[in-house]
């Protein structure tokens, strides 16, 4: 009993002594040799915004991550792409892609605390790219569609995005317009019953694999905050070209530059009202930013924990590196900051589900998330020494991947402008 117990890796041939070659140990039963994700603790339900159901949700999602995603992450990072349709379908089947979306379209109609639980659990994926891709699908390309779209577009685009049958992407940023969304140049001109679209988009996550894009375009002349609309754009239409962008991190995510030349799309694919696109997009940003911050917490927890584990067994001058006060004090400080970020996110979530506007808190959470991610990964990488500089360890990948958090989804500087505006300290801009 002892021998079996201690060397058991679940596949040990207690019952495998017959030579039936057709039968083999299911892949799910073999220990992959990868470090395991952390256990989802029941204590999570002690948090004000979480319940037992949130815990069960995270446990189930954790299984999908351990079985179907994490074993392939290294391979996908090296290939610089991951099979979005395959992964999204698995998640969609289990109900994780439409957590707060209307049940009439396959969603679960739950409140936003469940989105945050999903975002946090996705942090157990061993890279930043795949959670980001999922986040685009669930919380960046679809909020406006779910809230303002007609039944036609919801059936055509929202429902399949929730079920995982269609991959979505968001087309807002352009080559000449990132932080200043109002100066995008892409146009959608009416022609018969269609729009003709000209222009292009940049930094499009899921850009190569997406079936449709939530596109922000200028639909009329006039004030820049009132002349834009959101349009659902199928990505297989003639006139659409895609080019992959090579990046220093988020490797398994296919980020693309999109070229749009005389692309014809029916006017019925408009989301909500014409001219309201800018407003819708601003509303969409709240969820995107809260999500981005929530998705960064668990990776930061993991980096700190793995650094503590590494420095415990790494000896220097005769004792563990961790014994140096500089090291364990610094890790304590970093952990404190992560908990502060977590509290900020939970607080914003709690208010959001009560219907309050959380633009200020969400912007603060995104700002802090981006800054903290850089500090934690940079500091911990230093403690890993030479090993931290190799490609074999998680901390170097985290350092590369999470550098994006201060830039994408709204740069730190934009966040600070928003916060200053709420503080009443932002100077009035000259009219353009």
Q: How far apart are CA 246 and CA 254, in angstroms?
A: 9
Rounded to whole angstroms, what are the CA distances from 71 to 37, 68, 125, 336, 371? 12, 7, 10, 31, 29
Q: How far apart are CA 343 and CA 145, in angstroms?
A: 29
Nearest to 251, CA basis, from 126, 420, 376: 126
168 - beta bridge partners? 212
What is the sign, positive or negative, of the torsion defined by CA atoms of 227, 232, 235, 239? negative
- Of 15 and 428, nearer to another protein (C-beta) is 15
What is the sign, positive or negative, of the torsion defined by CA atoms of 162, 164, 166, 169? positive
Q: Give, for 344, the enclosing helix (H) or strand (E).
A: helix 325-352
- Of 197 and 331, nearer to another protein (C-beta) is 331
Residue 313 interacts with another protein (CB under 8 A)?
Answer: no
Q: How far is the CB of 114 from another protein (least distance, A)?
A: 8
Residue 329 interacts with another protein (CB under 8 A)?
Answer: no
Residue 428 interacts with another protein (CB under 8 A)?
Answer: no
Binding footprint of another protein, residue count (CB under 8 A) = 44
Note the residue count of the chain.
432
373 exposed, middle or buried (CB, 10 Å; 0-12, 13-18, 19+)?
Answer: buried
- Of 90 and 371, nearer to another protein (C-beta) is 90
- Of 52 and 244, nearer to another protein (C-beta) is 52
Residue 309 interacts with another protein (CB under 8 A)?
Answer: no
Residue 46 interacts with another protein (CB under 8 A)?
Answer: no
- Of 118 and 414, nearer to another protein (C-beta) is 118
Catalytic residue among 53, 120, 288, 333: 288
- Of 25 and 422, nearer to another protein (C-beta) is 25
Q: How far is the CB of 39 from another protein (least distance, A)?
A: 4
Torsion, Cα 294 296 297 298, to 10 degrees, reads 110
Residue 20 interacts with another protein (CB under 8 A)?
Answer: yes
Q: Which two tokens stand for residue 292?
A: 């981005």
Rounded to whole angstroms, what are the CA distances from 270 to 90, 113, 176, 368? 29, 29, 24, 35
Task: Give the Cβ contact number of residue 351 at 10 Å.
Answer: 14
Q: Which of 21, 23, 326, 386 binds another protein (CB under 8 A)?
A: 23
Q: Which of 8, 190, 315, 421 binds another protein (CB under 8 A)?
A: 8
Residue 288 falls in the annotated catalytic set:
yes
Residue 15 interacts with another protein (CB under 8 A)?
Answer: yes
- Of 54 and 368, nearer to another protein (C-beta) is 54
- Binding residues for another protein restricted to 49-68, rule: CB under 8 A: 52-53, 55-57, 59-60, 63-64, 66
Instruction: Give me the 86-125 binding string for another protein, x by CB under 8 A, dash otherwise.
Output: -------xxxx--x--------x-x---x-----------
Torsion, Cα 284 293 203 111, to 10 degrees, reads -30
Q: Which two tokens stand for residue 385?
A: 């020494």
Residue 12: partners with Cβ closer than 8 Å, 6 or more residues away: 4
197 - beta bridge partners? 188, 263
**Contact range with another protein by CB under 8 A, out of 10-18, 191-199, 274-282, 335-343:** 10-18
Known catalytic residues are: 288
Site residues for another protein per CB under 8 A:
1-10, 14-15, 17-18, 20, 23, 25-26, 28-29, 31-32, 36, 38-39, 42, 52-53, 55-57, 59-60, 63-64, 66, 93-96, 99, 108, 110, 114
């Amino acid at each position: 009993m002892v021998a079996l117990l201690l060397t058991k890796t679940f596949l040990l041939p207690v019952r495998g002594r017959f030579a039936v070659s057709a039968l083999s140990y299911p892949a799910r039963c073999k220990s992959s040799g990868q470090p395991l994700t952390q256990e989802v603790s029941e204590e999570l339900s002690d948090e004000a915004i979480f319940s037992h159901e949130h815990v069960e949700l995270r446990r189930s999602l954790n299984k999908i991550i351990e079985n179907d995603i994490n074993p392939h992450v290294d391979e996908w990072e090296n290939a610089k792409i991951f099979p979005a349709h395959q992964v999204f379908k698995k998640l969609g089947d289990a109900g994780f892609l439409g957590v707060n979306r209307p049940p009439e379209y396959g969603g679960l109609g739950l409140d936003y605390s469940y989105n945050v639980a999903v975002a946090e659990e996705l942090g157990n994926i061993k890279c930043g790219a795949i959670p980001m891709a999922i986040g685009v699908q669930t919380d960046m390309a679809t909020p406006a569609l779910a809230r303002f779209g007609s039944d036609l577009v919801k059936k055509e685009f929202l429902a399949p995005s929730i079920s995982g049958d269609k991959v979505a992407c968001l087309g807002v940023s352009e080559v000449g317009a990132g932080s200043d969304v109002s100066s995008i140049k892409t146009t959608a001109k009416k022609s018969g019953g269609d729009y003709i679209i000209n222009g292009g988009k940049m930094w499009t996550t899921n850009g190569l694999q997406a079936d449709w894009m939530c596109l922000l375009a200028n639909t009329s002349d006039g004030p820049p905050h009132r002349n834009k609309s959101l349009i659902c754009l199928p990505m297989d239409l003639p006139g659409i070209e895609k080019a992959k962008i090579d990046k220093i991190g988020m490797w398994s995510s296919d980020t693309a530059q999109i070229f749009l030349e005389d692309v014809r799309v029916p006017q019925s694919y408009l989301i909500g009202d014409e001219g309201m696109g800018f407003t819708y997009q601003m509303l969409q940003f709240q969820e995107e930013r809260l999500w981005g911050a929530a998705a960064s917490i668990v990776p930061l927890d993991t980096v700190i924990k793995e650094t503590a584990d590494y420095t415990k067994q790494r000896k220097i001058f005769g004792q563990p590196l961790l014994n140096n006060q500089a090291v364990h004090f610094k890790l304590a400080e970093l952990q404190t900051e992560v908990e502060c970020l977590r509290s900020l996110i939970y607080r914003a979530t709690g208010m959001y589900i009560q219907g309050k506007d959380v633009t200020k808190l969400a912007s603060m959470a995104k700002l802090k998330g981006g800054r903290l991610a850089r500090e934690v990964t940079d500091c911990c990488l230093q403690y890993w020494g030479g090993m931290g500089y190799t490609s074999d360890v998680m901390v170097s990948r985290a350092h590369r991947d999470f550098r994006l958090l201060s830039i994408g989804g709204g740069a730190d500087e934009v966040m600070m402008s928003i916060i200053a505006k709420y503080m009443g300290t932002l100077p009035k801009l000259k009219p353009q």
